[in-house]
Structure 1
Amino acid sequence: MISLDEALERIFAYADPLGVESLPLKYAAGRTLAASVTARTSQPPFDASAMDGYAVRGIEIKPGVTLDMIGTSQAGNGFDGEIGPGQCVRIFTGAPLPAGADTVVMQEKTAPRGTKIMFVDAVEPGKSVRKRGNDFELDAEILRAGEFLTPSAIALAAAANNAELSVYRKPQLAILATGDELVEPGLQLSVDQIIASNTFALSALLAPFANAVFDLGIAADTEADLSTKLGLAFDSDADVIITTGGASVGDHDLVQPVLKSLGVEIDFWKIAMRPGKPLMFGKKGNKLVFGLPGNPVSALVTATTVVLPALRALGGSRSPLGPRLRLPLATPLEANGPRRHFIRANITVKGEGISAVRPISESDSAHLSSFARANALIVHPEDAPAQPVGHIVEVIPLRAQ
């Protein structure tokens, strides 16, 4: 049995980025940049008004002064002329500042009388003007290689006139559930069967980090059926193959021997963590193979803490572990044993408006309803002592992966 840190180190040694592709902007969100992005224009490309009002020569504006309005400048249709002494132009947010003007006075600070505009207060020259290139200049590096493409990053790339981006490819996944006791949702159960939920949970969790997720169905607890279905996975384009169940060493736990018979090199089996100790990792060629426990909470916890970091690394992420928080405990935490414990929890806001994390007492690895109520996992280190209210703990958010 190895530590989680050692397990991740071994996995990352094989989880090199898969390759690079060029994608249109509308498909690039959620990817990691493979090359930096430079601006193909300045933003704004001209001096622009930051509000609705009047474009003026700032030095002329004093309380009670009146100027002649000689035209209008609006977004997409600027004023074609130049402002001279004693003149102003009606201007709208985002419109080009007319030649000769250097300042915008908000309309609330004026008293229009037809084409005569009286100004109530003095104004600081340059006020309410977005100078050309204020956000970014032409040819400036606006996004660096290795950055994750959030919606705001996509907006920035678009504003800089980039139609396509060079990004790392996402992995393709294949998921196989195992167990004679499993049946698909919606079917009639016999007295010794349960509903298969792991594939649905894992697909929902991992799909945002994958280019495609192939559902291989349910394999019976026979070497023949496992070999057939896993053979299909190895013959497919999947970069990562995930099994659930059958990962222990019981008489019906056949996943490991079948994987070995198919040529998979098992790197490790069993991690010092709870839930999820019987987790297996190996590889065949350039395919990574994960054997997750069958209990649904164990499958989800190991997928969150082990498989997701691997998928992020394959997708080029510079931070494959994902988001982590440091929060105070809302209730005490018991001492931990020799395995790192990922405790179901909820991030809450206390009466004074301070965030805290509240452990959920349920720890059964098959208790899905408690996991569904959780929005976080507390990381309780190996052999950690009991912790009081207010102690700062590491937290993995579950709903912002």
Structure 2
Amino acid sequence: MLLLRDIYYINKNLDVGMGDLLIDSESGRIERIGKDLPAAGCEKIEGKGMLAMSAFFNMHTHSPMTLFRNLAENMRLHEWLSKVIWPLEKKTSETDIYYSSMVAFIEMIKSGTGCFNDMYFHMEAIARASKQIGIRACLGYGMIDLNDEGKRDREMRECERVLKKYSNGKHSELITANVAPHSIYTCSKKLLTEAKKLAGSYGTTYNIHCSETRKEVFDCLGVNKCRPVEYLEKLKVLDEKTILAHSVWVAKQEVAIMGKRKCSVSHNPVSNMKLASGGEIPLPEMFDAGVNVCLGTDGAASNNSLNMFETMKTAALIQNQFRWDPTIISPKQMLKCATVNGAKALGINSGAIAEGKLADITVLSLDANLQPANEKTLVNAIVYSANPSNVKHVIINGKLVLKDGKITTVDEQKIIDEFNKRAERLASASDCGAEI
């Protein structure tokens, strides 16, 4: 058992409370919330000067792309993908993926993230790393067929192999898997529809990039005579288990469709701004339509961090700036997007501090940058003032994976040293050079 004593905490209504949190490390759940709970037999953390909140859900990642961080800058998305990222990815090994994923997970945990929704390849390496470090994972094998029937069949087989191994906690209670066709411009109509059937047969989510750039929208209009969300609606792949990454270039009628189908959207504001690929996402309209809006960082190569504090603040400020209205988005809405809504999208009984919920908790140190700290200020402080330096402890599935700012489950420095050897080898073998 683990007891957080006399600590501020964010409750299920995203209000601030004060009390004790008793965590059952065996079941991984929050056992009790109250005052003066018995401490016998518990590992105890004194909560004075601290705040407990749900760990973040990073709802769109390509975790191994830490390997390409800061390697290619000042490029447009399609050029960045075709000239740098995809050629480099062909040169990576499964062991490269393991170490680059591990570095991502160290960064995620140390910045308060407890669960991530990934799209990539070499899923065994990512799963092995996530299980060892103790982070919650939803793994999607990124499928691309480029209208090649043979490749489509191979992609579907690989996706189902991953699902059989990892879906619904078969491999680890921390790991599940979903179906992840890359996008409408890299996947054929048949792959998109067959992938949805596969997701349905395993009862899992359907994760896809959508309306990330103007080019994607214009190309879809030219080929399909409709916009991307309308195209996916025609294919009957939109429902409450669909997660649409980005979705910044959407029209009113598309927002209405997403709301009607109860889709989730993963908004990645920092990556969109860095690649200059996204305009102002219509968040207020999405909220009003009933779209389940989540937040993500995208990969570390296009962000260039996995910092969900930065993501929340940026998402809010973009709306204020473009709408000329500082009342348009509340801090509580942003915090909900980063926690509650991510758990809802993935169907995980977490995302909030409440009795019976999975104990995925980030504990912040209320340092000078978060002062004054009281019940009126703390939600605002999380969104607008906090940063990874405030993260003191992280609990995932009832286990302390970060204690006093240090990872407890793996040798962080050893991993980083090996990772850097591999990153240097890859950079020297690439054609990127200093000009990029």
Scaled by the length of structure 2, the TM-score of the pair is 0.27
Higher relative strand content: 1
The structure, 1 or 2, with the larger RCO (C-alpha pairs under 8 Å, 6+ apart) is 2
Scaled by the length of structure 1, the TM-score of the pair is 0.28
